Structure 1
Amino acid sequence: MNEKMSWKRSRRWVLGGLLAAGAAALVYAAYRPRPLTVEVATVTTGTFEQAIEEDGVLRLKNRYLITAPTPAALLRPTLKVGDAVKAGDVVATLEPVAPQMIDARTRTVLQQRVGSAEAARRAAAAQAQRLQTALAQATLEAERADKLARDNFIAPSARDQAVLARQAAQQALNAARAEQSAADFAAAEARAALSRSEPTAGARPAGLWQLKSPVNGQVLKLHQDSAVAVNAGQSLLEIGDTAAMEAVIDVLSGEVRQVQPGAQVQLSTGSGAPALAGRVARVEPVAFTKVSALGIEEQRVNVVVDLASAPTEVQRLGDGFRVDARITVSSQAGVLLVPTAALVRDGDQWRVFVVETGKARARAVAFHDRNTEVAWVKDGLREGETVLLYPGTIITDGQPVKY
């Protein structure tokens, strides 16, 4: 009887122990730290670059402005923006400006001036004809006097007088012919003044000027796209070669001292477009004020970049196109790199979380320099180690993680 009761008592103890162990296991499973899903990266060896990222625009290296050489009337252009032209092609045609309208009184004065000039011309012609007859008579008298003088019928002095009379008649005829020419010019001038004041209906003045392209290129801008009167020096159109372009990047004056001529530049023209390579050609020695998107006035300096891409790639671009530029100011190859997103500020120091056997272990690190993407590690990490990205505040030393 005692043995039976002892066995029952032992059985109750065993069952109680099993129940307590199960409950403890359930409590541990419920409250033990669970692995957090994290994003990780690998410490690698590569090239560290310090760069300045700004936006800018493309522009033509050379543009040519075609202007009117004299006041004239521009005929309607046949070219459109984007049309290709070759050196020597006619790009604009000018014609003389039509004369201004005049009143009836001025027209009558011009008509009378024409009549007066015509009368003076006829009088000069008649005078020239009379002197031509006088010269013919003087010539006959001189020939007769010469013959008589050879036969000793008259004195030599009489012959000399006849020769001089012929020369005087010749000079008088020459003067009359000059006066006749002057009268002809005066009459022509009077007729021209009258004809310019009363152009023929529908007639176009003669003497067109054709302006030609100085280079091979494309039409960039039409300042005048219709027939219109223009003044001397007025802009008509612009021509440029889109295969010869450069980029202008405005950089903060406080950062531009790091940019040196010859520095490598990567230009992005938009989503999905291949990057364009280039080099800094020059840094302009003058700054200008620009208002940022936040309304802050900034002093900026233009950095001019020569494009190194193939002409076929550049030709798809245009003057004034926006670009995003990445100017490399320093570069170091073969260094240990860790993503900047893995760095956590710890007072005056920096640390990262390294994944070791499924747990995040905090480790202090030192670095030479960093940019927006990676940091150049000086001490604290080895190549190939796995680090957490964007650890935040929920990750602690020893926290189980998975990825």
Structure 2
Amino acid sequence: MRHAMKRWVRLVLILLCLGSAAAAVLYWQWPRHTIEAVTVVEARPGTIEQVISATGSVEARRKVLVTAEPGTRIAALYFDEQDIVAKGQVLAKLDDIELVTQLRQMETALNVAKASLADAETSLAHAKALYDKGYIARQEVEAGQRQVELSRSQIAEKQATLQLLKAKLDRTLIRAPISGAITRKLVEVGGVVSDGTRGISASSGGQLQPMAIAEIAHLEALEFHVDVDQTEIGQIKRGQKAVIILDAFPDHRLHGVVEEITLSSVEEISGRVRYKVRVTLEKTTLPLRLGMTGTVDFILARKEQIPTLPMAVVLQRGGDEFVFVVENGVARQRSIQVGLRNEELVEVTAGLRAGERVIDQGRNKVRDGQPVHILNGQR
């Protein structure tokens, strides 16, 4: 009886050990069979542009300095900064008191010379009449002719001087050389036009060069100027297409073309090395203004109607890129190869068949072989 009891106790202990072992196995294996709720997406035909982005502002392609002779005094100004002016419009008047005085004196001298010519011509005609009658010698007629020629040369000289003075007087009216907007006003009424260095330019042949009183920006041709980091400047080429979105018009895409990439870098206190890039803007009906800021995307490559996935569903491990696809209700890890990418989409070049379901939400929770339940109703 006692022997039978021991055998039953031994059997119960064995059963308890086997039950504990089975429970432990089930405990550790249970998470592997947990059904994870996920959403899925499919690769869809799309368009991807690979771009380099930079910020900048709208600038005029052409800016012209309005100049005046150094040393002249500003008598009046007819413009202010931001004014829109037309070509030929009078912008300023220089002090012309001295020129007006010289002009009046020369007009008086010219009238005197004309009167002298008239007297000389009358005397010559009288001398010729007397010579024909034999009353005077030929030398007197020749002397009269010389006097007429001298008077005529004096008149021609004074007329030339008068024209020069009128031209100088006309130049006291400073006119706009082009139509556009005044971007800088460099003088004030009563001020004297500076020669910049108070010296004489060696390249001017010893003559003072005209100095600026204003700057006009031509508004018919606008550009977008940006500074691009040295690590990216090598990928930008002249003639490359670009898309610009201005902060003032975020819902509009402006198109442009790279016009120029400067050879010298832009100096920055931070030590960064960047290069200025000029992008010519295509004409638009938007009311663009100088200085408007925005972002430009330089298009490095563009593909259309290619299989794409949202960038977020592609995972990386050890340099390999992969996704989780759903096969017969189970998550399967699938290595893929990708091509172009941007901030939202990535091109799938290999590893994925059309119509396959790729896990989106839940991608970071599932493991290869884990059962899944699709929430968004796709097949």
In the superposition, the TM-score normalised over structure 2's length comes to 0.61
Give 1:91 shift.
1.1
Give 1:96 shift.
4.1
Identity among equivalent positions (%) equals: 23
With over 3 angstroms needed to count, the CA separation of the structure-2 counterparts of 1:399 and 1:57, relative to structure 1, is: farther
Report the equivalent of 2:272.
297
Tell me how far apart the structure 2 counterparts of residues 380 and 359 of structure 1 sit (CA, whole Å): 18
1:379 paired to 2:350: yes
Deviates more, 1:331-340 or 1:352-361: 352-361
Report the equivalent of 2:183.
220
Give the superposed CA RMSD: 4.4
Q: Which runs of 5+ in 1 are unaligned?
A: 1-30, 99-138, 148-158, 182-205
- Cα deviation per residue 1:274-325 (whole Å; 9 max; x = unaligned)? 12111223433x1314448xx3422x33332221232x32xx2233332211
Tell me how far apart the structure 2 counterparts of residues 212 and 93 of structure 1 sit (CA, whole Å): 9
Tell me how far apart the structure 1 counterparts of residues 97 and 344 of structure 2 sit (CA, whole Å): 66
Report the equivalent of 2:63.
63
With over 3 angstroms needed to count, the CA separation of the structure-2 counterparts of 1:240 and 1:297, relative to structure 1, is: closer
Tell me how far apart the structure 1 counterparts of residues 258 and 361 of structure 2 sit (CA, whole Å): 35
Higher radius of gyration, 1 or 2: 1
With over 3 angstroms needed to count, the CA separation of the structure-2 counterparts of 1:305 and 1:399, relative to structure 1, is: farther
Tell me how far apart the structure 2 counterparts of residues 90 and 74 of structure 1 sit (CA, whole Å): 13
Q: Which amino acid aligns with 1:382?
A: R
Tell me how far apart the structure 2 counterparts of residues 309 and 343 of structure 1 sit (CA, whole Å): 40
- Is contact 1:92–1:212 with CA below 8 Å preserved after alignment? yes
Give aligned pairs, total. Answer: 285
With over 3 angstroms needed to count, the CA separation of the structure-2 counterparts of 1:88 and 1:369, relative to structure 1, is: closer
With over 3 angstroms needed to count, the CA separation of the structure-2 counterparts of 1:76 and 1:290, relative to structure 1, is: same
Tell me how far apart the structure 2 counterparts of residues 222 and 55 of structure 1 sit (CA, whole Å): 28
Q: Which of 324, 347, 370 is the matching residue for 1:353?
A: 324
Give 1:267 shift.
0.4
Report the equivalent of 1:82.
82
With over 3 angstroms needed to count, the CA separation of the structure-2 counterparts of 1:329 and 1:237, relative to structure 1, is: same
What are the equivalent positions in structure 2 for 1:74-223 lying under 5 Å apart? 74-96=74-96, 209-223=172-186
Report the equivalent of 1:307.
281
With over 3 angstroms needed to count, the CA separation of the structure-2 counterparts of 1:96 and 1:261, relative to structure 1, is: same
Q: Which runs of 5+ in 2 are unaligned?
A: 1-30, 99-126, 155-168, 195-208
SS of 1:215 mapped into structure 2: coil
With over 3 angstroms needed to count, the CA separation of the structure-2 counterparts of 1:250 and 1:34, relative to structure 1, is: same
With over 3 angstroms needed to count, the CA separation of the structure-2 counterparts of 1:229 and 1:283, relative to structure 1, is: closer
Tell me how far apart the structure 2 counterparts of residues 83 and 390 of structure 1 sit (CA, whole Å): 60
Tell me how far apart the structure 1 counterparts of residues 324 and 297 of structure 2 sit (CA, whole Å): 30
Give 1:338 shift.
1.3
- Is contact 1:278–1:309 with CA below 8 Å preserved after alignment? no
- Is contact 1:45–1:383 with CA below 8 Å preserved after alignment? no
